[in-house]
Amino acid sequence: MKVSGEIFRNKSFLYFWMSSMLTAMGDSIFMITLMWLLVQISGSPVVVGTYILVVTLTKFSFVLFGGVVVDRFSVKKLLIGSAIGRGSILLLLFAVIAAGDPNLFFFYAAGVIFGLIDAVSEPAAITFRTRLVPEKHYTQSMSLLMMAGQAASVVGPLLGAMLYAIYDAKMAFLLNGFAFFAAAGLFLFISVKEERSVEESSSFFAGIKEGFAFFVGSPVLATMAAFAFFANAAVGAVMVSLPFLMKDLNYGIQGYGWAHTSLAIGSVVAAILFSLFVIHRPKPYMTLLTCFLQGASILLIGFFSEDLALLLFFLALVGFLEAAVNVIAPSVNHALIPPKLFGRVIGIMVIIMGISEPIAAGTAGLLIEKIGADGIFVWGGSMEMLVAVIVFSFPFIRHFKSNEERS
């Protein structure tokens, strides 16, 4: 692990980084603007909840097909098309709202289209990053992209709320749409070697089957994806429990705000740190150790939550370790996947690693009344620690060697 600024001389990656920042900002502004608009139009939490459900289900239902599309077509053109598609939908939303009373069905239809675009753009963006930088810069590139996402998550809601308050929803959608078009335009300055691996005569189902065969046949990849399922479940459960914990302890909305600020501070510190250093050969044990420490931090919150200073410190540590995991784990996994199968395998992993969070969130909501919010932190942290120890006990995880080391 050493300090390196070499990645900042990669102009194509820097343009991709700027484009990613614009799309992340656009997504952030869009979500807060649309959620508040739906609340104003319908006044129903059911409408807001079902909208999110529609987008999420559409994405997870089609992400496997999205992975095949990524391997079959130009990834650069797919990302340009996804940004233009999002921008076009936002301009259409602007026109519909400006014309008068919009029908809720239109928003649901737009949500389905966004879910379809996400099913392609997410594996496409991950694939594109690995083609822009060498393997030794995987962790740095992930850190820089995470910094873009963190900046967007802080600035986006504030900007979206300000635009909504001053100009109402239609102006936020208009400017948001132009941001996506600008993000698409930055790709014109990016030079990348395109690789297509799926024979045009082969079917989508054959492509998915090939991706599954490789995933199942790679014990390290499959095991770490299964581990991520449980680790993400633990984090998802405690995030749902956090506002209830702050309420039970009478910290109020101010305390809840400080809690989220602490998480963000920890994440930003980690993103900055990992953007400066190169980890040449990230290993699975690094992911497991980081998750074990995160589980311990979550567990300690359950025991020491009555001390606000300690609570905020442990939350900052959780944010730091979560960001570290999101840098190290993908770098290990992505190095194992052959370029010709990247989109398909990533599609499989997106489903396995992402589907546990909404399941855990719903389960936590049911359990909070029985064991309390602090109990969710104790159980969630314990589960993450236990699963990390179990996975570390597998010899092929402990003795993992990268392709570079084996050669």
- As a whole number of angstroms, the distance between CA 8 and CA 282 comes to 20
**Residue keyed to tokens 């967007």:** 152
**Chain segment 250-282, per-residue pLDDT in tens:** 888 778 878 878 888 888 888 888 887 767 778
**Chain segment 201-241, per-residue pLDDT in tens:** 456 778 788 888 999 999 999 999 999 999 988 888 888 78
Q: How far apart are the first and last CA of the chain?
A: 21
Model pLDDT, residue 1: 54
Most trustworthy range by pLDDT among 58-67, 233-242, 326-335, 387-396 = 387-396
- As a whole number of angstroms, the distance between CA 108 and CA 46 comes to 13
**Chain segment 48-89, per-residue pLDDT in tens:** 767 877 887 888 888 888 888 888 888 999 999 999 999 999
Tokens found for residue 302: 């359950």
Tokens found for residue 367: 């359990």
Tokens found for residue 333: 């996994």
pLDDT at 39 over 70: yes
The β-bridge partners of 3 are: 277
Tokens found for residue 72: 């079959």
Tokens found for residue 268: 């930003």
Cα separation values, 5 from 129, 195, 223, Å: 17, 27, 33
What count of other Cβ atoms lies within 10 Å of the Cβ of residue 101?
7
The β-bridge partners of 277 are: 3
377 falls in which pLDDT band (50, 70, 90)?
Answer: very high
Tokens found for residue 74: 């130009």
CB–CB of 68/344 below 8 Å?
Answer: yes
pLDDT at 165 over 90: no
pLDDT at 46 over 80: no
CB–CB of 236/357 below 8 Å?
Answer: yes
Q: Who wins on pLDDT, 190 or 365?
A: 190
Model pLDDT, residue 297: 95
CB–CB of 209/347 below 8 Å?
Answer: no
- As a whole number of angstroms, the distance between CA 124 and CA 120 comes to 6
12 falls in which pLDDT band (50, 70, 90)?
Answer: very high
pTM above 0.85, yes or no: no
Supply φ then ψ for residue 194, to 5 degrees.
-85, 140
- As a whole number of angstroms, the distance between CA 401 and CA 403 comes to 7
Domains, in order of start, for the chain: 2-187 (1.20.1250.20), 209-406 (1.20.1250.20)
CB–CB of 242/259 below 8 Å?
Answer: yes
- As a whole number of angstroms, the distance between CA 343 and CA 122 comes to 9
Q: Who wins on pLDDT, 80 or 335?
A: 80
Looking at residue 281, the DSSP 8-state letter turns out to be S
Residue % of the chain over a pLDDT of 90: 29
Model pLDDT, residue 403: 55
Provide Rg for the chain, Cα atoms.
Answer: 21
- The set of residues, in sequence order, having a beta carbon less than 8 Å from that of 221 and lying 6+ positions away, is 215, 333, 336, 337, 345, 349
